Amino acid sequence: MATLVTGATGFIGQHVVRILVERGDTVHLLVRRKDDVSPQKKSNLKPFFGDIEDEATIYNAIRGCQKVIHLAACARMWMKDPSAFYRPNVLGTRNVLKSAFEMGIQKFVHSSSCSAVQIVGEGVADENCIRPLAHFLTDYARSKALAEEEVC
């Protein structure tokens, strides 16, 4: 079984890729630079170089996969240009979803952020705990909430 992992070289992505590789899955890695995959040379790893903002790159990387684990995002607390959050986090998520839908992907996992959900006190927060967009303090949090809307 083949799985596309976006954000494969990030903090969470590295661990997800390691687990998939150890269990023998074929893993398509969507990475921005060739040097990002040099320490992970395994026969069941297939790197694809590009960006989630480019539909053609995603479509190429997702071909042959049955699952997608979408982890890629701009995860910073602040940037001078707020669009630097929205392009990868919202548009990129939309692009990955579109390709997954068109390719008939069986399972799609989207990783978000605790910044995107409403604090519920003693309860458990999940994708149903939607915070009104006006209540976000950062563009990062707002962009992650908008990405969740794309997925839902």
pLDDT per residue over 86-120, tens digit each? 999 999 999 999 999 999 999 999 987 766 666 66
* Per-residue confidence in pLDDT tens, the chain, 152 aa: 899 999 998 889 999 999 999 999 999 999 886 655 554 556 789 999 999 999 999 999 999 999 999 999 988 877 889 889 899 999 999 999 999 999 999 999 998 776 666 666 777 777 676 666 667 778 888 888 889 888 88
Three-state helix/strand/coil letters over 100-142: HHHCCCCEEEECCCHHHECCCCCCCCCCCCECCHHHCCCHHHH
Spatial separation of the C-alpha atoms in residues 29 and 102, rounded to whole Å:
19
**Taking the domains of the chain in order of start, what are their residue ranges?**
2-151
Query: Cα–Cα–Cα angle for 141, 144, 146, nearest 5°?
Result: 110
Q: Whole-angstrom distance between the N-terminal and C-terminal Cα of the chain?
A: 25
Could you tell me the fold of the domain covering 2-151?
Answer: Rossmann fold (3.40.50)
Amino acid at 139: D
Which helix (H) or strand (E) segment holds residue 26: the answer is strand 26-31
Helix and strand numbers (H, E) in the chain are 5, 5
Which two tokens mark 118?
A: 């409403």
Spatial separation of the C-alpha atoms in residues 117 and 132, rounded to whole Å:
9
* Adjacent-strand bridge partners of 70: 6, 110
Residue 56: Cβ within 10 Å count: 10
